[in-house]
Structure 1
Amino acid sequence: HAGAYNLQWGAFMPGVPDITQFPNRVWSRLHNKYWRRPRPDLLTYGHGGGYLPLREAIAEYLRVVRSVNCNADQVLITSGIHHAIDLASKMLANVGDRAWVEDPCYWGTRSVLHSLNLKPVPIAVDDEGMRPQPADLRRPPRFIFVTPSHQYPLGAVMSLSRRRMLLEYAAVHQAWIMEDDYDSEFRYASRPLASLQGMDTYERVLYLGSFSKTLFPGLRIGFLVVPQGLAAPFATGLSELYRGGQLYTQAVLADFMAEGHYASHIRRMRVLYGGRLRLLQDAIVRNFGDRLEISGGDAGLHLTLGLPAGCDDVALSRQALQQGVIARPLSRYFMKPADAQRGLILGYACVPDELMGPTFDKLAKIIETHLTD
C-alpha cells in the first residue's frame, strides 16, 4: 500500500506543522539579502557535505539541545530522512542485507529499504521501545532503525537500559544504528533523554534529522550526522551520487539559525502545539470518556487513538476522508498483520484551535458507527 497521501494539509494530518505560523517576514529578509548581490558560489552545484556555515550551525544546535557528539565535518546536508537512509544504505550495505525496523514504523523507511533491495525485519516495540527477541538477536542485522525519542507512531520513549543494550549489541556485531530523532523538539510533559548518538562510545550510530516538522516540509532540508571515520567518504558519496545544490536556501537557513530565529520559533510552536494537544485530548474525552486509549501524547505533533481489536480502522479512515477528515489507520504501519493494532493516528499541529473540537466531533460520529457494528 502506498504510504503517501494525496492530501498533505488539514485535520488530522500527522507530521505536518502549522506552516501558517512560519516567520516568513524574517525568512524573506534573510533571503533577499543574498539575492541583492548574488554569489556565483551559491548558484552552482554543491560539493562535499553541504554549505559549511549551515553544517556548523546544526552541529552547535545538536550539541547543545540533543547532546549529540559531533563537529561540522560529521554533518551532511540532505533533502530529508528518505535521502539520508538512501545514502547510508548505499554506502554501508549490500543487496539482501537485513535491517531491523520497529513494528509499527514510519512507512517511508520500509519503502526506501525495499527500493534498495534490503530486507526490513519487523521488531516489535513495547513501552521501552524496540524489543528484539532471542531469535532476532541470533541473526544480527546490518542496520537497526529506531526512533528512540518518540517512537513513530506509538509514541514510546526508549528506556536507558534498552538504549545501552542496542549500543552494545551493535558494537559486538558491527551493525549500524540509524537514529531518527523524530519530534525530539516538541515535548510537553517532561525533558527528553539525550540522543542515542550522545551515548555511543563505539561510533556505530548515524543520526538523522530534518527541518520538516520544525519549519515547513516543503523546505526539503535535512541532515545526517555520521561517525568521524565515515565523514570524508560520505561527503564524497553525497557529491558523487546526488549532485547537491540549494546552497542559497542553505545559506538562508544558516543565518536563520545563527541569529536565533530557529530556537525562538521552536519555543513558540512548542507552546502552540501543547495547547492544541490538550484541545484534542479534551475532545476525545468529551466524546468517549475512557472507552478509547490515547497514547503518544507526551510529545510530537500527533497522538494515537486506540480502537477495539475487531474494528476496521482502514474502512473507518476511508469513510472519514470522504467527510474531509484525515485519520490515518494505525494497522497500516505494521509489517506483521497478526500483530497489527487497530487505531487512528491524529495530527493536531496544523488544526486551528477553533476547529479542533468541531472537527473531532465529526470524526467521533464516524467512529461511533464502527464501535457499534
Structure 2
Amino acid sequence: MTKTIPLRIIGHERKAAENVVITFEPVQGHKISYLSGQFLVFSFIINDKEIRRSYSIFSSPVIDEPLSIAVKLVENGEISKFLHHKVGKGDVLNALEPGGIFTYLPIPELKRTVFLFAAGVGITPVFSILKTALLTEIYSKIVLVYSNKSVRDTLFYEELNQWQHNYRERFQIVYLFSESKNLLLARLNNVRIEQIVNEHLSYDRNDALFYTCGPINYMVLCRITLRAMGFAMEQIKRETYFIPEDEADDDDQTEKKIKDTNTYSVVLDYLGKTYKLEVPYYKRILETALEQNINLPYSCGAGMCSTCASTCVEGGVRMDYNEVLTDQELEQGRVLICTGHPTANNTRIIIG
C-alpha cells in the first residue's frame, strides 16, 4: 500500500460557489512540507477499492497558517459530496506527499512581474502563489486576473481584496464577471489579455512569469495569446483544476478509434525493482499495474496532472489524453502512464 500521511481536519467552512474550505493539521508525529502551487492527493477506500482525488493547496508555506484546500461540490461526485457532507472537525483523511509542477520558487532580490490568471476554483493554487510571491519577493509586482460568474460566486473575494489593500503598490486584481453588462469586464479574450499585460508589465519582459489555472480552453487562450506576444513557453505555466469526479472506463471508445487490438508486453522500472506486464489494447498501463497490486504514483488518472509522468526508453506509448507534457518532453520520451497504451512489445518505462 502506498505510504500516506494522516491529516486531521481542524476547520470545515462553506464558501462561495458551492465550495467548502477544509483546513488540516498533521497527526502527531507526522510532518508535511510543500511548495506554493502544489496539490494534495487524498486516498479513499470505497467498496474495497482505492479512489484518489487531487486538491490544490491554497495556504502558503511561508506563512504560519494551517494546510488548507478548497473543494467544489460536483454533481454526481461521490468524493466531493463526501467531503462536503460527511466529514468534519476531528476526522482524519489520508493524503500522499504534496506533488505537482505548477510551483513558484521565489527569488528574494529579483524584480519581476508575475501574472496570475485564474477561473473559478482555479484560484486555489494561485492564491498560495500570490501570497508567497508578495511576502518573499519585496520588489516584484503581482497581477491577478480572476474570472467568475459574479461577485457572490467568487471564492476568496474578501480575502483577496484585503491582500490588495495591504500591498496596494505591488498587487493588483483584475476581476472579470460573466454576468457583467459591460463586455470588457465580462470575459477574458486575447485583446483583454494584451491590454492587461501591456498595462501592468513593470520590469524586464524576459523575467515575467505567467501562471494559468482554469478550464482547458481558458488556459489555451492565455497560452496562445502570450506566445503571440513573444513570451517564451518557459515563462508560461498551467494547471488544470477540473478533473472528472467519476471517470468511467465503460464508455471508452478506444476500440472504435484504434485499429491495433494487440496485447503488448511492458517492462516497468520503479524504485529499484522491475515489473513485467501484459497490457491489452483496451487497458491503460497504470490500470493494468494497479490490478497487479503494483503501487505506482498517480493522482488524477485522466492525463491532467504530472504525478504519473515517466520516461519510455524502449518501444512506444500512445496516450488517450495529455494536458501536461510539452512537445519537448514528448520528444524526450516522457509519457503519462495513466492514459498510456503500449504500441510495441517489450516497451520499457522508467517510472518517475
Structure 2 length-normalised TM: 0.29
Which has the larger share of helix? Answer: 1
Q: Which has the higher strand share?
A: 2
Which structure would you say has the larger RCO, counting Cα contacts within 8 Å and 6 or more residues apart? 1
